Amino acid sequence: MENYSDLFNEMRGGIGISSMVNVTSGKFCGDYGKGSAMVQIGGYGADPYRGDRKAIVDFLKPGIEAARRSGAKVAVNTLATNLDYLVEFVKGFEEAGGDFVEYNAHTPSHNYVSRGLGYMQFAPENQHLLFEYTKKMADALSIPLIVKGRAWSPSSTGSVKRVTDDYAALAEKLAKHGASAIHLNIRKEDEKRYDLDVLEEIKDKLDIFLIASGYVGLTSDGRVDLEKAVSDTKAILNAGADLVLIGQAAMDDPTIVERLAEKLVH
C-alpha cells in the first residue's frame, strides 16, 4: 500500500460532505461544500457503464470540476456487482482528475446484499469478497482507496446489530489489502444515535485514517441544529475519527457545512 500520509494529514480534523444516492452530484458538492476538506460525489453504480472508460470519464469529469468549486478534495463513492466493471470505473475516475475513490460496502440495496455485497461485505461470511474487491481496486489505482461500511446494520433489516464483531481486526486486514482509509457510518438507527465505541476500538489498535458519518447536526426529530453539529463533530473527532462527513444535514441546510467549518476554527 502506498503512503498517502501528507494528503490525509491535510484533511485531519476536518469536515465534509458524505455521499448520498441521487443527491450528491458535483453541483450539490460545489454549492454546499464550502469549508469542506473532502466532498464525495455519488454513489454511482459502475455496472451500467460496462467498463467503457471513455463514457466513464465523460460522465465523471464535469462532476469533479463542479465539485471542486467547494475548494475541497473530491472523492467518488461507487459500487458494482461486476468487479471488472468496477475497476474500470475507478480508473476512469482517476483519469478524470479525482482525488479519492470510496468503495461502497455500505448500501442496504437488495441487489447487492443478496449477492453478499453492500453492507453485508463487512459480515464475516462475506469478508473474502470485501478483500478481493479492495485489493483489485487498490492495485489498479495510484490515488487512495477508502472503504466505506456500517458499524450497525440498517433498521430495514428488522434487527439492528453490529455487522461484524471486531472492527479493528477488519480494518487491519483492509489496510493489508490496499485500503488507505476506512469510512464508517456509525448510525445506530433503532436508537437514533451514533456509536463512538467502534471508533475508539479501531484507534486503540490501529493507526489508519478513519472517517465517520451519521446523525451529525440532526436533532431527534430530524431538524438541523448548528450547535449540535459542532458538539457532534468534536465528540466524533475525540473518539478517534480523523475526518467527519455530513449527509442529511447538508441536504436540509445548504449552509451547514460552511457555518460548521467557521465554528470549528474559532
Domains assigned to the chain:
5-265 (3.20.20.70)
Instruction: Give the pTM.
Output: 0.97
Q: Enumerate residues 6+ apart whose C-beta is below 8 A from 190.
A: 155, 160
Q: Enumerate residues 6+ apart whose C-beta is below 8 A from 174.
A: 130, 131, 134, 147, 182
What pLDDT was estimated at residue 1?
A: 52
What pLDDT was estimated at residue 265?
A: 84
If we measure between CA atoms, which residue out of 19, 65, 21 comes closest to residue 39?
19
How many angstroms separate the CA atoms of 110 and 103, rounded? 17
What pLDDT was estimated at residue 209?
A: 97
What pLDDT was estimated at residue 83?
A: 98
- Cβ–Cβ under 8 Å, residues 182 and 145: no
What pLDDT was estimated at residue 220?
A: 87
What pLDDT was estimated at residue 222?
A: 87
Regions of the chain where pLDDT drops below 70? 1, 266
What pLDDT was estimated at residue 204?
A: 95
Cα-based distances in Å from 187 to 133, 219, 247, 265: 24, 13, 12, 26
Per-residue burial over 230-243, b = 16 or more CB atoms within 10 Å of its CB, e = otherwise: bebbeebbebbbbb
How many angstroms separate the CA atoms of 81 and 97, rounded? 24
User: Helix count (H) and strand count (E) of the chain?
Assistant: 11, 10
